[in-house]
Structure 1
Amino acid sequence: MKRAIFPGTFDPFTVGHFSVVKRALTFMDEIVIGIGINENKKTYFPIEKRVEMISNLYKDEPRIKVVPYNSLTIDFANSVDAKFIVRGIRTVKDFEYEETIADINRQLAGIETILLFTEPELTCVSSTIVRELLHYNKDISCFIPKGLEI
């Protein structure tokens, strides 16, 4: 079985994240969406709410699991027996960062990272921007997947 993790803060889960998961399901048997707990990030939604929102979004997809974690990503991958990490990249800056992390993860744990380029129409979408729009009570419906209940 080919199992991958898709790690992130997902605060909130966007159409870009949804696209990465959908595309990764075409070549993975199972994806564990790992919601990382990052003490250095100030989040909009508590971890329990993010787990609930994403779990509800995928409630009818048995190949998706949603799990919070508070460890190194490679340790989380090992704990769920995943051999791959899936990441989405929007920009060259994202690519440079992800390449470095992928090299370290492969060296430390033998885990391969699969980078999926964001679809061009979604490159402007980020959780940071969506959080700011939420803060100012703006409509975010075009930036989050249909069915994600915020």
Structure 2
Amino acid sequence: MRRAVCPGSFDPVTNGHVDVITRAAALYDELVVAVLVNPGKAGLFGVDERMALIHEAVVDLPNVTIDSFEGLLVDYCRAHDVPVVVKGLRAVGDFEYELQMAQMNRELAGVETLFVPTAPQVGHLSSSLVKQIAKFGGDVSSLVPKAVNDRLVAARPTSAGGTS
């Protein structure tokens, strides 16, 4: 059985993430989307909520499972017998960083990395940009799955007070 893991913080999952997950799922018998738990960084959404939002976004992909991990990705790969990491690339800067990570993962644990370039229509997306746009009331409905958009809209602070 061909297995791979697609790791990330996914805070929140974007249509760019979904693009990479969908394309990777077509290449492997099982794809695990692994949400990084970073205790030192407070995310917009908790890990369980991120996992639920990803699940909703990929519910039509029966060979995709959602999990979480803390610590080194290679340790997760070893513990779950996953030989391949799938990483999406948006631009050259992503490649430079991810290539170093891929080489280190191979050195530490023999884990290979498959780079998947994002589709041009989603190559500009990042969770950070989506959060910033949503925070200031911008429309991100075309950038994220519906469930994520619904949560971002619900999380917007309402303006207090009246007219002066």
CA deviations 1:39-58 (Å, max 9, x no partner) are 34331111111011112233
Correspondence for 1:112: 112
- For 1:98 and 1:71, the matched residues in 2 are separated by 17
CA deviations 1:94-141 (Å, max 9, x no partner) are 000000000000011001000011112212111000111221232211
- For 1:27 and 1:62, the matched residues in 2 are separated by 13
Correspondence for 2:134: 134
- Does residue 47 (structure 1) correspond to residue 47 (structure 2)? The answer is yes
Correspondence for 1:9: 9
- 1:145 deviates by 2.8
- For 2:64 and 2:23, the matched residues in 1 are separated by 13
Name the SS of the counterpart of 1:65 in structure 2: strand
User: Which range is displaced more, 8-17 or 113-122?
Assistant: 113-122
Unaligned runs of 5+ in 1: none
Matches within 5 A, 1:97-108: 97-108=97-108
Name the SS of the counterpart of 2:61 in structure 1: coil
Correspondence for 2:74: 74
Task: Provide the aligned C-alpha RMSD in A.
Answer: 1.5
User: In terms of Rg, which structure is larger?
Assistant: 2
- For 1:134 and 1:147, the matched residues in 2 are separated by 14
Name the SS of the counterpart of 1:4 in structure 2: strand
- For 1:92 and 1:33, the matched residues in 2 are separated by 23
User: Which range is displaced more, 106-115 or 41-50?
Assistant: 41-50
Task: Work out the number of aligned pairs and report it.
Answer: 150
- For 1:79 and 1:15, the matched residues in 2 are separated by 29
- Does residue 30 (structure 1) correspond to residue 27 (structure 2)? The answer is no
- For 1:124 and 1:40, the matched residues in 2 are separated by 27
Spell out structure 1 runs of 4+ moving beyond 4 A. 146-149
Percent identical residues = 35
- For 1:87 and 1:8, the matched residues in 2 are separated by 9
Higher RCO structure (Cα 8 Å, ≥6 apart)? 1
User: Which range is displaced more, 139-148 or 6-15?
Assistant: 139-148
- For 1:100 and 1:55, the matched residues in 2 are separated by 29
- 1:20 deviates by 0.4
- 1:62 deviates by 2.3
Unaligned runs of 5+ in 2: 152-164
Q: Which has the higher helix share?
A: 2
User: Which range is displaced more, 53-62 or 90-99?
Assistant: 53-62
